[in-house]
Amino acid sequence: MAKTTDANQARFLPLTPYREYSPVAMRDRARDFYSEVNRRRTVRDFSDRVPPREVLDDCLRAAGTAPSGANMQPWHFAVVGDTEVKRKIRVAAEEEEKEFYSGRAPQEWLDALGPLGTTADKSFLETAPWLIGIFEESYGLLPDGRRVKHYYARESVGIATGILITALHTTGLATLTHTPSPMGFLNEHMKRPTNERAFLLLVVGYPADDATVPDIGRKSLEGISSFI
Ligand code: IYR
């Protein structure tokens, strides 16, 4: 016999939070949202000023609203504000990056990074007030140690990360999506269990007063989409 889900387990509620807008309002909202996110730039020069903590809490709550495979919510956000832990993370990241920039990376990759002006210097890891280690729970763990399978964990964490970056930007904070490679050392410094895999390190804070960003552009609508 064909297997099916036990639909009796499903409970449904009316979609009360949904709001429909008039076409005019929709156009305005889409334009406004695009203008807002189009101002976002990845920042590498951070101030050491500490933003209000509640802002971070709400941005993390926003990230936690992301859709996920079978609603497993396979993410964990480990926030580091402690100076000493940040220093250790910087040291470990720079060790990896030095190897990356002086040998491990193929020339083609280094050429692609040229316009960004990135180097093995990761001083922002100490300057910025918060480092958020974003972890993907490859599988869940029940209190008795049994494993719970997760579905599309990477895709789910990617979506949650996008919402987090957008939420932080909207509140007036800058971010840097940093991917030291390999990132295994983050589990140790952020005290995360073995069922979690570091997805990326999000550097968060106010930009430095004299922050600059690379002069690079975005693809056009035609360059990123097609209507069939
Ligand atoms: N992880 C290195 C290299 C790097 C890789 C990519 I792909 C970037 O978009 C930027 C940098 C670093 O952080 O410098």
Query: Tell me: the pLDDT tens digits for 160-177?
Result: 999 999 999 999 999 999
Nearest to 206 by CA among 41, 36, 46, 44: 46
The confidence band for 139, taking pLDDT boundaries of 50, 70 and 90, is: very high
178 within ligand 1 shell (Cβ under 6 A): yes
Mean pLDDT, residues 135-162 taken together: 96
Distance of alpha carbon 47 from alpha carbon 128, whole angstroms: 6
Asked whether residue 10 is assigned to any structural domain, the reply reads no
Asked whether residue 218 is assigned to any structural domain, the reply reads no
Distance of alpha carbon 96 from alpha carbon 112, whole angstroms: 19
SS3 176: strand
- CA–centroid distance, residue 97 to ligand 1 (Å): 9
Q: What is the mean pLDDT of the chain?
A: 96
Bridge partners of 75, per DSSP, are 136
112 within ligand 1 shell (Cβ under 6 A): no
113 within ligand 1 shell (Cβ under 6 A): yes
Which atom from ligand 1 is nearest to the alpha carbon of 180? 1
Asked whether residue 111 is assigned to any structural domain, the reply reads yes
Whether the CB-CB separation of 116 and 177 falls below 8 Å is answered with no
- CA–centroid distance, residue 100 to ligand 1 (Å): 9
Decide if pLDDT at 2 tops 80.
no
- CA–centroid distance, residue 110 to ligand 1 (Å): 9
- CA–centroid distance, residue 22 to ligand 1 (Å): 43
DSSP per position, 25-81: HHHHHHHHHHHHHHT------B--PPPPHHHHHHHHHHHTTS--GGG---EEEEEE-
- CA–centroid distance, residue 178 to ligand 1 (Å): 7
Bridge partners of 137, per DSSP, are 196
Q: What is the pLDDT of residue 180?
A: 86
177 within ligand 1 shell (Cβ under 6 A): no
Q: What is the pLDDT of residue 95?
A: 93
Asked whether residue 23 is assigned to any structural domain, the reply reads no
Domain of residue 199, residue span: 45-208
- How many domains in the chain? 1
Matching residue, tokens 């976002």: 40
Asked whether residue 11 is assigned to any structural domain, the reply reads no
Decide if pLDDT at 203 tops 90.
yes
Whether the CB-CB separation of 183 and 171 falls below 8 Å is answered with no
97 within ligand 1 shell (Cβ under 6 A): yes
Q: What is the pLDDT of residue 43?
A: 98
Q: CA-CA distances (angstroms) from residue 174 to 113, 164, 170?
A: 21, 11, 9
- CA–centroid distance, residue 42 to ligand 1 (Å): 12
Q: What is the pLDDT of residue 7?
A: 77
Mean pLDDT, residues 83-99 taken together: 95
Q: What is the pLDDT of residue 70?
A: 97
Asked whether residue 12 is assigned to any structural domain, the reply reads no
181 within ligand 1 shell (Cβ under 6 A): yes
- Tens digits of residue pLDDT in 175-200: 999 998 889 999 999 999 999 999 99
Whether the CB-CB separation of 62 and 161 falls below 8 Å is answered with no
CATH code assigned at 201: 3.40.109.10
90 within ligand 1 shell (Cβ under 6 A): no
93 within ligand 1 shell (Cβ under 6 A): no
Asked whether residue 6 is assigned to any structural domain, the reply reads no
Mean pLDDT, residues 100-124 taken together: 95
Asked whether residue 120 is assigned to any structural domain, the reply reads yes
Decide if pLDDT at 1 tops 80.
no
